[in-house]
Amino acid sequence: MRKAKKENLIMGLASNIILKGVVLLQYADDTIVCIQNNIDYARNMKLLLYFYEMMSGLKINFSKSEVITIHGDDQLDMLYADLFNCQIGRFPLKYLGVPVSPGRLHIKDWLPLVEKMRKSLPPGRAVPCLLLVE
C-alpha cells in the first residue's frame, strides 16, 4: 500500500493535510480502506487486495464488506460496490462502537452508546448527565 501510494497508484483521503492522504485505518481485525473518488485508484486497490490474498493465504470476505461514499450518489455507490463485489453502507457507521459520519451527528446517533454505558454501571450508581444544546 505504501509503495502504491508513493507511485500515485492510489490516493487516500485528507491529502490536503497528510501527504497523499490516509489509505488504511486498522484495529484488531477491522480495516477501513480510504481512497479518493477515482475509478483507477479503486481498480488498483482491488488488485492490491487480491495480491494480499495471494501472498498471505488469507481470504478477504468481500460479501461482508461495505462501500461507503462521502457525498456520493446511488450511481457512484453501485459502481464501487460492483467493483469490490460488496454491499453499500450508509452513514453514520459505527467503528469501535462509536458513530462516525462526515457530517454532524445527531443526539439519536449517540443514544445506543449512552445506553450501553448506562447498562455497564452498577445498580444504584449515579448516572452522569450530559446536556446537549443545539
C-alpha–C-alpha distance, residues 13 and 81, integer Å: 18
Mean pLDDT of the chain: 86
> pLDDT digits over 20-79, tens only?
889 888 888 788 899 999 999 999 999 999 999 999 999 998 988 999 998 888 999 999
Residue type, 10: I
Strand segments (E) across the chain: 24-27, 30-33, 66-67, 87-88, 93-95, 98-100
The C-alpha atoms of residue 77 and residue 34 are separated, in whole angstroms, by 14
